[in-house]
Amino acid sequence: MKNFFAARPRTVLALQGGGAHGAFTWGALDRLLEDGLSFDAVTGVSSGAMIAAMAVQGMVKAGPSGARAAVARLWGRVMEGNLLGNIPATPLDWMWDTTKAFSNDFAWSGLTQALRMFDPGVLNPLGQNPLEPLLRELLDVAALRAPDAARLYVGATDVESGEATIFSNAEIGVEALLASACIPMMFPTVKIGGRHYWDGGYSCNPPLAPVLEPAPERLVLIRAQPRRRPGVPTATADIVHRLHEIAFQAPLDAELALLPKRVQLIEVSADAALARHPLNSKLNTDRPFLEALFAAGREAAERALHSE
pLDDT score of 210 = 95
Respond yes or no on whether the N-terminal peptide bond of residue 206 is cis (omega within 30° of 0): yes
Give residue 84's pLDDT: 58
Length of the chain: 308
Helix H or strand E encompassing 157: strand 151-158
Q: Looking at the DSSP assignment, which residues form a beta bridge with residue 154?
A: 44, 167
**Beta bridge mates, 14:** 43, 221
Cβ contact 162:203 at 8 Å: yes
Q: Could you tell me the pLDDT band of residue 249, with boundaries at 50, 70 and 90?
A: confident
Beta strands at 164-168 and 41-44: parallel, antiparallel or unpaired: unpaired
Q: How far is CA 73 from CA 27, 78, 234, in A?
A: 13, 9, 40
pLDDT of residue 176: 98
Tens-digit pLDDT profile for residues 182-231: 988 888 899 999 999 999 999 999 999 999 988 999 999 999 988 888 88
Residue, of 1 and 265, whose pLDDT is higher: 265
Which residue would you say has higher pLDDT here, 53 or 113?
53
Q: What is the pLDDT of residue 97?
A: 40
Average pLDDT in the 152-175 region?
97
Task: Burial-class residue 89 by CB neighbours within 10 Å (0-12, 13-18, 19+).
Answer: exposed
Model confidence pLDDT, tens digit, residues 18-43: 889 999 999 999 999 999 999 999 99
Across the range 239-258, mean pLDDT stands at 85
With 90 as the cut, is the pLDDT of residue 99 above it? no
Work out the pLDDT band at 124, boundaries 50, 70, 90: low
Q: What average pLDDT does this structure show over 55-61?
A: 97
Instruction: Identify the pLDDT of residue 250.
Output: 86
Confidence check: pLDDT of 125 > 70 = no
Asked whether the CA dihedral 129, 67, 35, 166 is positive or negative, the reply is positive
- 82, 288 Cβ separation under 8 angstroms: no
Closest Cα to residue 226, out of 186, 262, 283, 276?
Answer: 276
Angstrom distance (rounded) from CA 173 to CA 257:
31
pLDDT of residue 231: 84
Q: Higher-confidence residue: 210 or 107?
A: 210
> What confidence tier does 248 reach under pLDDT thresholds 50, 70, 90?
confident
| pLDDT given at position 236 | 80
The residues near 119 (Cβ < 8 Å, ≥ 6 apart) are: none
Least confident of 30-34, 46-50, 78-82, 197-201: 78-82
Neighbours of 225 (CB within 10 A): 25
> One-letter amino acid identity for 18?
G
- pLDDT category at 237 given cuts 50, 70, 90 is confident
